[in-house]
Amino acid sequence: MPISRILTEKEVLAQFESRKNIYAPLQVVSVERESVALGYMPAAKVTLALQNRNISFLAEVKTRTAPKIIGESLWRLRSAAASGQNFLLIVTYLTETIVEMLNQEKLSGIDLNGNYLIQVPDMFAMRLDRKNDFPESQPIRNVFAGASSLVGRLFLAAGRRFNSVNEVFSGIQKLGGSLSLSAVSKVLKRLEEDLIIGKSPAGITLLQPEKLLQKLGESYRQPRILESLKLNVPEGLAGLKGLEGLPGTGWMISGESSARRYTVMADDSALKIYLMDHGSLSKYQDDRFYNVLAQKTVDLFPYFDAREEQGLRWASPVQCWLELSRLDKREREIAAGVRDSIFGKPK
């Protein structure tokens, strides 16, 4: 899907007027660009009709769909609604989050794609099945994937307030990640707009940890495996500690196999590890009776916040959950226990 530039308020209204016919059975009767003194300046007066009944609205146009921006507009509309007027929010696309916010405030909204939620005493109409023809351009297209996801992972791992962007940047480096300061700043801005984090004079705080984890899961892609080597390692897991040829810190037990560290489970499957290079491990190769699957990858994000314990390197609980949650039913059930570990709940 091509990414559109952000439209201006005048362009949103012009598009709305030119696309009047896409809202059937709801009809757009008129759009009058007149200001009304109500403590703020509505963009237009819009008249809608359903089943031969006309209802007028004072409309506010938002060119961005970030929850923080929409929330500020809905606060103004809610305050002005005491005047007895009907208010309509016009956006490029009614996202699921915006619909939830409109429902919470009992307000109406409409977009440029044919979607609408109209709820006033004399009219209720809803259509929310039209795709988005106006995706917003973003400096970082997905802050929940790849290297950008390290910002969110840091907040889940640290469980604390950060005093500045620089402190977030340093925190990522300390946990083995690599992301430029400017990229960290851009990701934080997007997370703030999505109301996942909050910024105040007291610092930067994670507001919605569960939503953050969900977003990371929706965007997660497994690391690229370049080559796999089946190994028969004496003593299995315990034998990894002193395995000859295992490359320093350049290896880690995969998220899937790290579940045993974070939740109660029975697992007799082959242990999976990630490493940068197989080195001299081929001496342990055994395609028939293997207990370790060594997977070579050059992707670095799985190693972020790796936990070292008694000579073993485990994937972080977040990496563990991300991997398990994309697998079959049994693994997803195990992921639920790991999720409790992420949020500090007892096993």
What is the domain class of 146-219 according to CATH? mainly alpha
Domain ranges of the chain: 9-127, 146-219, 227-342
Q: What is the pLDDT of residue 38?
A: 45
Neighbours of 226 (CB within 10 A): 13
Q: What is the pLDDT of residue 139?
A: 56
Between CA 152 and CA 163 the distance in angstroms is 16
Q: State the Cα angle at 219 between 331 and 302, rounded to 5°.
A: 65
CATH 3.40.1350 fits 9-127, yes or no: yes
Contact by Cβ (8 Å): 255, 322: yes
pLDDT along the chain (347 residues), means of 10: 68 91 93 61 86 89 87 77 80 92 91 95 91 75 89 94 96 93 92 92 94 95 92 89 80 93 80 90 92 92 92 94 92 90 72
pTM: 0.69
Going from the C-alpha of 285 to that of each of 224, 249, 252, 292, the distances in angstroms are: 21, 21, 18, 9
DSSP code for 288: S
Q: What is the pLDDT of residue 117?
A: 96
